[in-house]
Amino acid sequence: MCGIVGYIGNQESSPILMEGLERLSYRGYDSAGVAVIGSDGKINVRKAKGRLENLENLLKEKTVYGTVGIGHTRWATHGEPSDLNAHPHTDVKGDIAVVHNGIIENHVSLRKQLEMNGAQFVSQTDTEVVAHLLNQLYEGDMKAALLKAMTMLEGSYALGVICTREPDVVYCARNDSPLVIGFKDGEGFIASDIPALLSHTRDVIFLKDKEIGVLDRSGVKVFDIYGNEQHHEPYHVEWDLSSAEKGGYAHYMLKEIHEQPEAIKKTFEPRYSGTPGDYSWLPLTVEEVKNLRKISIVACGTAYHAGVAGRYAIEKLARIPVEAAIASEYRYRDPIIGENELFIAVSQSGETADTLAALREAKRRGAKVMAVCNVVGSTIAREVGDENTLYTYAGPEIAVASTKAYTTQVELMMLIAVALGQMKGELASEKAQELLDQMHQMPALVEKALGTEEQLQKFTSIASHKKHVFFVGRGLDYALSLEAALKLKEVSYIFSEAYAAGELKHGPIALLQEGRLVVATITQTALLDKTLSNLREIKARGAWVVAVCRESLKEKVTPEADELILIPDTDDLLMPLLAVIPLQMFAYCMAVARGCDVDKPRNLAKSVTVE
Ligand code: G6P
Q: Are 543 and 516 in contact (CB under 8 A)?
A: yes
pLDDT of 89 > 90? The answer is yes
The confidence band for 461, taking pLDDT boundaries of 50, 70 and 90, is confident
Residue 319: the pLDDT is 98
Ligand 1 atom, smallest distance to 28 CA: 8
Which of 2, 172, 300, 596 is catalytic? The answer is 2
pLDDT of 317 > 90? The answer is yes
Residue nearest to atom 4 of ligand 1 (CA): 301
Task: Tell me the CA–centroid distance for residue 347 and ligand 1, in Å.
Answer: 7
**pLDDT tens-digit profile of 37-75?**
998 999 999 999 999 999 999 999 999 999 999 999 998
**pLDDT tens-digit profile of 338-363?**
999 999 999 999 999 999 999 999 99
The confidence band for 12, taking pLDDT boundaries of 50, 70 and 90, is very high
Most informative mutation of 331, 355, 402, 599 for ligand 1 (most atoms within 8 A of CB): 402
pLDDT of 220 > 80? The answer is yes
Q: Are 323 and 297 in contact (CB under 8 A)?
A: yes
Ligand 1 atom, smallest distance to 605 CA: 8
Residues 6+ apart with CB under 8 A from 349: 374, 375, 378, 606, 607
pLDDT of 16 > 80? The answer is yes
Most informative mutation of 256, 344, 352 for ligand 1 (most atoms within 8 A of CB): 352
**Distance between CA atoms of residues 273 and 481, nearest Å:** 33
Helix (H, G, I), strand (E, B) or coil at 256: helix
Task: Tell me the CA–centroid distance for residue 317 and ligand 1, in Å.
Answer: 28
Task: Tell me the CA–centroid distance for residue 607 and ligand 1, in Å.
Answer: 6
Of 58, 69, 65, residue with least CA distance to 20: 69
**pLDDT tens-digit profile of 510-558?**
888 888 999 999 999 999 999 999 999 999 899 999 999 999 999 999 9
Residue nearest to atom 3 of ligand 1 (CA): 301
Most informative mutation of 192, 300, 380, 491 for ligand 1 (most atoms within 8 A of CB): 300
Element (H, E) at 133: helix 128-137
The confidence band for 331, taking pLDDT boundaries of 50, 70 and 90, is confident
Element (H, E) at 115: helix 107-116
**Distance between CA atoms of residues 364 and 102, nearest Å:** 23
Task: Tell me the CA–centroid distance for residue 351 and ligand 1, in Å.
Answer: 9
**Distance between CA atoms of residues 386 and 376, nearest Å:** 8
Minimum mean pLDDT range among 204-208, 297-301, 346-350, 600-604: 600-604
Rounded mean pLDDT, 567-582: 97
Q: What is the DSSP letter of 217?
A: T
Residue nearest to atom 7 of ligand 1 (CA): 301
Q: What is the DSSP letter of 125?
A: -
**Distance between CA atoms of residues 403 and 255, nearest Å:** 10
Task: Tell me the CA–centroid distance for residue 303 and ligand 1, in Å.
Answer: 7
**pLDDT tens-digit profile of 371-417?**
999 998 888 998 999 999 999 999 989 999 999 999 999 999 999 99
Residue 605: the pLDDT is 84
Return the higher-pLDDT residue of 611 and 575: 575
Return the higher-pLDDT residue of 527 and 274: 527
Q: Which amino acid is at 299?
A: A
**Distance between CA atoms of residues 189 and 209, nearest Å:** 18
Task: Tell me the CA–centroid distance for residue 558 and ligand 1, in Å.
Answer: 36
Chain centroid, CA 562 distance in Å: 36
Give me the phi and psi of 72, to 5 degrees please: -155, 140
Residues with CB under 6 Å of ligand 1 are: 300-303, 347-349, 352, 355, 400-402, 604-608
Which of 47, 49, 487, 606 is catalytic? The answer is 606
**pLDDT tens-digit profile of 139-181?**
999 999 999 999 999 998 999 999 999 999 999 999 988 899 9
Q: What's the pTM value of the predicted model, to 2 decimals? A: 0.81
Active site includes 505?
A: no
Rounded mean pLDDT, 263-278: 90
Report how far apart, in Å, the C-alpha atoms of 190 and of each of 228, 321, 555 are. Answer: 21, 44, 58
Residue 176: the pLDDT is 85
Residue 365: the pLDDT is 95
**pLDDT tens-digit profile of 238-248?**
777 767 778 77
Task: Tell me the CA–centroid distance for residue 609 and ligand 1, in Å.
Answer: 10
Complete DSSP assignment for 520-549? EEE--GGGHHHHHHHHHHHHHTT-EEEEEE
Active site includes 606?
A: yes
Ligand 1 atom, smallest distance to 302 CA: 10
**Pairing mode, strands 389-391 and 368-373:** parallel
Ligand 1 atom, smallest distance to 375 CA: 14
Q: What percent of the chain lies above the pLDDT cut of 90? A: 82
How many residues are there in the chain?
611
Q: What is the mean pLDDT of the chain?
A: 94
Residue nearest to atom 15 of ligand 1 (CA): 347
Of 496, 163, 553, 156, residue with least CA distance to 356: 156
Rounded mean pLDDT, 292-304: 98
pLDDT of 581 > 90? The answer is yes
Most informative mutation of 349, 580, 588 for ligand 1 (most atoms within 8 A of CB): 349
Q: Are 538 and 518 in contact (CB under 8 A)?
A: yes
Ligand 1 atom, smallest distance to 604 CA: 8
Task: Tell me the CA–centroid distance for residue 386 and ligand 1, in Å.
Answer: 21
Complete DSSP assignment for 31-71? EEEEEEE-TTS-EEEEEEESSHHHHHHHHHHS----SEEEE
Ligand 1 atom, smallest distance to 380 CA: 15
